[in-house]
């Protein structure tokens, strides 16, 4: 599949950031082990959030490294617009898959260190993943609509602000749940019984949005290339 070759090109352009992922995981573990760490006040969702947060930023890196001459070269390759766009989306999906693997590893480290986990953690991680996919999808739509050669300052804002808002809101919500579990239990009781369903529905919606966005971006790019 030609899209996989374009995904490989994106990995070649961003190989330095991919090598940083294991370092980031070790950093999370170090923060949790630190004696003065506030991590015990959080749930196991937090380390998973770290990984998804990082990938929402890294997934848009190929747009920032794109040059006009490079774009022209890629258009000369024996492939369709759909192949190029699908390759970029596969790059983002693969990074989210890496986030899932390392996020699960971080959660396991969290559990081994003796921190408590509850039944809501897994559904919440699924919701976090769905939100991360939706943020990545929105970023991709923005860049394909307004061009890959947008100002670097604007690229930086679009890449970081949504992910940071997502991370801090999720982390603080997780902390509140851990701090006042009885009060939050009363609030969450209404949806608690259906939290797993909400998690699966969130993933389904995110995947559907990702597929629809890839088709939309391919059509937009095809019109621009004409």
Q: Using one digit for the tens of pLDDT, what is the confidence trace for 169-211?
A: 666 665 555 555 565 556 556 656 677 888 899 999 999 999 9
Looking at residue 153, what is its pLDDT? Answer: 58
What are the tokens at 24? 């980031």
Residue 194 token pair: 């259906």
Copy the structure tokens of residue 109.
Answer: 């480290």
pLDDT value at position 171?
60
Point out the residues of the chain with pLDDT beneath 50: 35, 39-40
Mean pLDDT of the chain: 75
Structure tokens at 137: 């999808």
Segments making up each domain of the chain, as ranges: 2-223
Closest CA to 62 of 13, 105, 25: 13
pTM recorded for the entire structure:
0.78
CB proximity list for 208: less than 8 A, separation 6 or greater: none
Structure tokens at 76: 């000369």
Residue for token pair 């604007």: 154
- Run of H or E including 175: helix 152-179
Q: Chain-centre distance of CA 3, in angstroms?
A: 20
Residue 114: alpha-carbon gap to chain centroid: 27
Task: Look up residue 77 and give its DSSP letter.
Answer: S
What does each C-alpha distance from 196 to 67, 124, 125, 168 come to in angstroms? 44, 8, 10, 23
Phi, psi of 34 (to 5 degrees): -55, 135
Q: How many CB atoms lie within 10 A of CB 86?
A: 23
172, 178, 179, 182 alpha-carbon torsion, rounded to 10°: 120
pLDDT tens, position by position, 62-85:
887 665 555 555 666 667 888 889
């Amino acid at each position: 599949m030609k899209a996989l070759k374009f995904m490989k090109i994106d990995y070649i352009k961003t190989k330095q950031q991919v090598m940083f992922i294991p370092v980031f995981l070790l950093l999370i573990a170090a923060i949790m082990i630190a004696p003065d760490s506030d991590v015990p006040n959080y749930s196991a969702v937090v380390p998973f959030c770290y990984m998804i947060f990082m990938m929402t930023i890294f997934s848009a890196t190929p747009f920032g490294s794109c040059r006009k001459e490079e774009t022209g070269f890629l258009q000369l390759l024996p492939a369709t617009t759909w192949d190029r766009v699908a390759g970029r989306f596969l790059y983002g999906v693969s990074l989210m898959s890496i986030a899932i693997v390392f996020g699960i590893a971080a959660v396991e480290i969290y559990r081994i260190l003796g921190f408590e986990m509850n039944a809501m953690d897994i559904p919440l991680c699924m919701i976090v993943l769905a939100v991360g996919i939706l943020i990545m999808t929105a970023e991709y739509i923005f860049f394909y609509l307004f061009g890959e050669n947008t100002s670097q300052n604007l690229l930086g804002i679009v890449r970081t602000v949504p992910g940071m808002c997502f991370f801090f809101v999720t982390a603080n919500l997780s902390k509140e749940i851990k701090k006042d579990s009885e009060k939050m239990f009363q609030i969450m009781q209404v949806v608690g019984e259906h939290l797993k369903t909400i998690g699966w529905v969130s993933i389904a919606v995110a995947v559907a949005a990702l597929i629809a966005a890839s088709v939309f971006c391919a059509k937009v790019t095809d019109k621009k290339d004409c």
